[in-house]
Amino acid sequence: MNNNIAETKALISELKPLVKDAKCDVVICVPFTDLSTAVAQAAGSNIMVGAQNVHWAEKGAFTGEISAKMLTELGVEYAIIGHSERRQYFGETDATVNARTKAALSAGLLPIVCIGETLDERESGKTNEVVIRQITEALKDIDASELDKIVVAYEPVWAIGTGRTATSRDANDTIKVIRDQIATLYCKNCAQNKVRIQYGGSMNPANAAELMAMPEIDGGLIGGASLKAADFSKVVNY
């Protein structure tokens, strides 16, 4: 919940020349009120726009919610689903993550599906158990043909906004667990070549290269470092 319309316009304007030669996909996910501005400002560039949430229903009595078709009508291409803050503060569950993911896919939105363990779960040795359950439930009843449209973001909850970061090896090992579970649910090729798995625990200019050097980490879901064009571009161009 950062940046008003003017700030979003200025951020994307500053960001465009800094990432124009990026060797990766660049997506900026802004609050609902900034989406139209972001789409217009990013037009003609290599920056795509995403929402921070999407509802599972196409329409109906869901006051305050936004449907996938409402987003695609604006020109939005991605939607973050199941972010830890949605789980922690707004009652998001594995079941609602699955429902939102299916709704996004049905409307042509590309879901960025977030999973990750809390500090208590990590310290009690339940990390693998938690991420296996979360990815299994998130992908329930989703066909293998849809996997190349899905981005998975592993975001250890204890590392978000705290300045703490999992070691590059720990992040890599947990993402391998997630990828192995996708292979179990679908196939090895599906896990290796169809699904991109990002790391989302306080990736920034100082640690991006080390994290991205890990073989299982395909990208980053950037938090605080995305609010400054100079910092975000350094991560993009690490």
Catalytic machinery residues: 83, 155
> Which position has the token pair 């977030």?
114
**Tokens 């124009």 belong to residue:** 20
* DSSP element (H, E) containing 54: none
Residue 9: Cβ-neighbour burial (10 angstroms; 0-12, 13-18, 19+): middle
The helix or strand, by DSSP H or E, that contains position 48, with its residue range, turns out to be: strand 47-51
3-state secondary structure of 213: coil
DSSP 196: E
